[in-house]
Copies of this chain bind each other. A is one copy, B any other.
Amino acid sequence: MDTKDLAEKGLKLRKDMVGAAAVEQRMNTLGEFGEPLQHIINAYAYGDIWSRPGLSLGVKSLAMIAMMAAANRRAELRVHLKGALKNGCTPEEIREVLLLVALYCGIPAANEAHRAAVDVLSEGKAI
């Protein structure tokens, strides 16, 4: 597939998962300087990896939450907490992942992730 088509296909899925307004705001903030990174995100992350079959979007989102909590990447954690709700995960499923984070990455990682989750879940009225 041509990489431009891959980027378009990915951008569509990304907007579905994260929300069109949020995606556009991000792309605008970084402007021309950010175009190659946006291409990586749209084409390679969403157009290729997220679009692959073999694992449901919901389970992918739960794996992303685990990963971002472990890697101490707060801004991205929030994106994928929202994405998890969009992809049909329940607050309980998200919490079970964060409790594994507590035991296997430590309490501080779980603490920060819980705060982010409570924020995102309240905004989305999920709790």
Binding site for B on A (CB under 8 A): 1-3, 6, 29-34, 36-37, 40-41, 44-45, 48-49, 52, 54-55, 59-60, 62-73, 75-76, 91-93, 95-112, 114-115, 117-118, 121, 127
Contacts and interface: CB of A to CB of B under 8 A. Distances in A.
B118 A33 contact: yes
A70, A98, A121: most-surrounded residue (chain B CB, <10 A): A70
A75 to B, nearest CB: 6
A104 B68 contact: yes
A100 B54 contact: no
10 contacts: A30-B118, A33-B91, A45-B104, A49-B103, A62-B62, A67-B104, A71-B104, A73-B106, A103-B106, A105-B105
A76 B99 contact: no
A121 to B, nearest CB: 7
Contacts of A102: 37, 40, 49
Nearest to A45: B103
